[in-house]
Structure 1
């Protein structure tokens, strides 16, 4: 079997990447071929090192056509059996490729978002969610009218890497608590709760805690300043982004962690107690009376952020952790049993492979007719050329198929406000003057003869 996996992401590495690498590695070990469509960078390098094929793509809409032709050429040489897409731009590209090539397509939903699923579920052969809570969200709030197509296949930790290490307790040693996450704006809720924990510890456990921050991102400087102001006599260290053995070592050296999603599973697999805190909600300390809720929400991936947070929750959970080293060991062992019972990677990957086989067999028995490529306006666009003939003059031009049947519009934004509009005309080129200093963005709109429309950011420039 040959599986094509388009995956779009912003951060260079993270839980999404580990999910794709883990399942792809398993498929390759079972003698299947896997090709991943992704941005160039460390993720693609890791895939190649694992024997996994890579097609590089930046997932900008004008690039869809060239990436599609690369997929089509691959399909001609090594026929693709199934497309397994991930959300947003990768889902768009994956579904187009599947429909034009006449292939079955499945999608994984990793969090609390809909991503056009109510409108596209009829064109998909299955949808995977990483927790039951996300599945229920899609049905009850997301408006997905085909719940029978939604299946739970959880993220799983690499149990060969993430496992307990012997660690002797030393009298007087500080308790190390690690925050492990990207430090970006989508994690803002997590950081707000983390600050509450740091402030509480400064008042109640002065000099007894060492905070370890594992991660990096656009909010790194802000987090550093806030923690320095709030930590009191407790110490703090910043490791930056870690992966592989270095990340495992960080877990193993921790007495407890504050973590989202997959990171919670990795830490628990190491026998480290976890406070589950995700970008969408606070599940709290994973313990005998809370673990089912944590599993249901994918360890904070489902929730209402601050609206669903119970005041004082993180402080109470921190107090529980600080009760004794014995209590922390007990919680760590309990968390490890959860991962062993519910998040066994071999079982999850076998489930996924079995589903692939069913979908491919069903599609062969009742194939859908391929959709002509011309039905997708995105695949008629071949690129946008942008030239800056002088500092205040942009020249933009579309390269596209049958431009005479298309109309083009342009919006010019300065510092987020629309300052000029060029409405639909059959002109694929446009000169745009920049009226004074500012940060500019040009959004392009394209409409075909059937009134189908697409839009995308065509240029971003700063005029001093």
Structure 2
């Protein structure tokens, strides 16, 4: 029996980020579930990673004019086409129409992607959080029976790594803090979060704090200015910008860190390896991920949806509490790991996406 074939168009301006990881991990998982996956994207790290895993790529050189790419892709037979908003969705819909193939669309950010214009051409929707799904489903043109929540997720193996205790993390008198994010205009909440974090660390002077910022992007200048300012705040706190690093190594760095400051998938990885996490994203600061803050993180993709009238507990006070009480620190570690294991496991997300694909095909055929 031949494998079912899925085309996954993906456009993104950044060289790497959470969307790239989403595509990469999902493609591997669906392959393991029996799908023949082709990802249509620009050349770069994603293509290299997918090719190394034996997953086919169609490289699009010019996303401003993909008509010839659509023609070539339309010459093939597909069982489902899975787009990821904006130009990805435009290309996906064009190929779906030309090949009479069901179209599935994933909504990632706080953007309804003009769905009222093309809803009649879709056979299914995916949202990355409950908050995003409910928001899309509010539209009268959207059939909520077509929606499935498939969260961003973390590699299963991260959930099996031993958790490192607070005392072991500062055994040499140095506490590492990892800040992981694209430094882009949609992540400006990073600046607010970083100020709050450094304000807390400045009050814990029995440890020398080393704050490492991993990631790059168009806001590097603004972040560098803030780093220069914050480096003069306390002699025992030092910040350093490391730029882009291999995303596969970041969770292990987080595992040895005392705290992480991260958005989206970075926050999820930090929780999975057992490091207390301050979450922020394009839509605000979600605070230290424990209790009601953690519930909000799971609800809104760890910073990817506006809080509205919802409130988070104060970052500085929460950080000082876990840094001054090893027992409380351990509780927050265990709570984050449990949440990640229950809700953010990649193999679970893969099975959900497989379900979404089959539902999409069934609806189209029905």
Note whether the superposition's TM-score is higher than 0.5: yes
- Matched ranges for 1:106-255 at <5 A: 106-140=104-138, 144-161=141-158, 163-165=160-162, 167=164, 168-171=168-171, 173-202=173-202, 204-206=203-205, 208=207, 209-231=209-231, 232-233=234-235, 234-255=237-258
Q: Which deviations, in whole Å up to 9, do the C-alpha atoms of 1:209-245 show, x marking residues without a partner?
A: 3212111122223312312212322122333222354
Whole-Å Cα distance in 1 between the matches of residues 53 and 144 of structure 2? 35
- Matched ranges for 1:358-397 at <5 A: 358-364=359-365, 366=366
Gaps of 5+ in 1: 367-464
| Residue 62 of structure 2 corresponds to residue 64 of structure 1 | no
**2:279 touches 2:288 (CA, 8 Å); kept in 1?**
yes
Whole-Å Cα distance in 1 between the matches of residues 226 and 126 of structure 2? 38
Equivalent position of 1:446 in the other structure: none
**2:191 touches 2:226 (CA, 8 Å); kept in 1?**
no
Whole-Å Cα distance in 2 between the matches of residues 308 and 197 of structure 1? 23
Displacement of 1:122 in angstroms is 1.9
Equivalent position of 1:281 in the other structure: 284
> Secondary structure of 1:107's partner?
strand
> Secondary structure of 2:328's partner?
helix
**1:37 touches 1:56 (CA, 8 Å); kept in 2?**
yes
More strand by share: 1
Equivalent position of 1:50 in the other structure: 53
Q: How many residues align?
A: 356
Whole-Å Cα distance in 2 between the matches of residues 236 and 325 of structure 1? 24
Structure having the higher Rg: 1
User: Which protein, 1 or 2, shows the higher relative CO under an 8 Å CA cutoff with sep ≥ 6?
Assistant: 2
Out of 164-173 and 288-297, give the one that drifted further.
164-173
> Secondary structure of 1:13's partner?
coil
TM-score between both structures, scaled by the size of structure 2: 0.90
- Matched ranges for 1:72-87 at <5 A: 72-73=74-75, 75=76, 79-87=77-85
**2:103 touches 2:123 (CA, 8 Å); kept in 1?**
yes
Displacement of 1:29 in angstroms is 1.6
| Residue 38 of structure 2 corresponds to residue 39 of structure 1 | no
> Secondary structure of 1:289's partner?
helix
Q: Which deviations, in whole Å up to 9, do the C-alpha atoms of 1:362-415 show, x marking residues without a partner?
A: 323x4xxxxxxxxxxxxxxxxxxxxxxxxxxxxxxxxxxxxxxxxxxxxxxxxx
Q: Which deviations, in whole Å up to 9, do the C-alpha atoms of 1:4-35 show, x marking residues without a partner?
A: 00001011111111111111101212332100
| Residue 21 of structure 2 corresponds to residue 18 of structure 1 | yes
Displacement of 1:124 in angstroms is 0.5
Whole-Å Cα distance in 2 between the matches of residues 193 and 38 of structure 1? 32
| Residue 300 of structure 2 corresponds to residue 297 of structure 1 | yes
Task: Decide whether aligned partners of structure 1 residues 53 and 86 sit closer, same or farther in structure 2, where only a CA change above 3 A counts.
Answer: same
Whole-Å Cα distance in 2 between the matches of residues 235 and 294 of structure 1? 28
Whole-Å Cα distance in 2 between the matches of residues 144 and 59 of structure 1? 32
**1:131 touches 1:152 (CA, 8 Å); kept in 2?**
yes
**1:106 touches 1:124 (CA, 8 Å); kept in 2?**
yes
Equivalent position of 1:316 in the other structure: 317
Whole-Å Cα distance in 1 between the matches of residues 193 and 294 of structure 2? 20
Displacement of 1:82 in angstroms is 0.5
Whole-Å Cα distance in 2 between the matches of residues 363 and 35 of structure 1? 20
Task: Decide whether aligned partners of structure 1 residues 59 and 118 sit closer, same or farther in structure 2, where only a CA change above 3 A counts.
Answer: farther
More helix by share: 2
Task: Decide whether aligned partners of structure 1 residues 264 and 311 sit closer, same or farther in structure 2, where only a CA change above 3 A counts.
Answer: closer
Task: Decide whether aligned partners of structure 1 residues 171 and 54 sit closer, same or farther in structure 2, where only a CA change above 3 A counts.
Answer: closer
Equivalent position of 1:391 in the other structure: none
**1:195 touches 1:227 (CA, 8 Å); kept in 2?**
no
Task: Decide whether aligned partners of structure 1 residues 331 and 184 sit closer, same or farther in structure 2, where only a CA change above 3 A counts.
Answer: same
Whole-Å Cα distance in 2 between the matches of residues 164 and 144 of structure 1? 45
> Secondary structure of 1:238's partner?
strand
**2:185 touches 2:219 (CA, 8 Å); kept in 1?**
yes
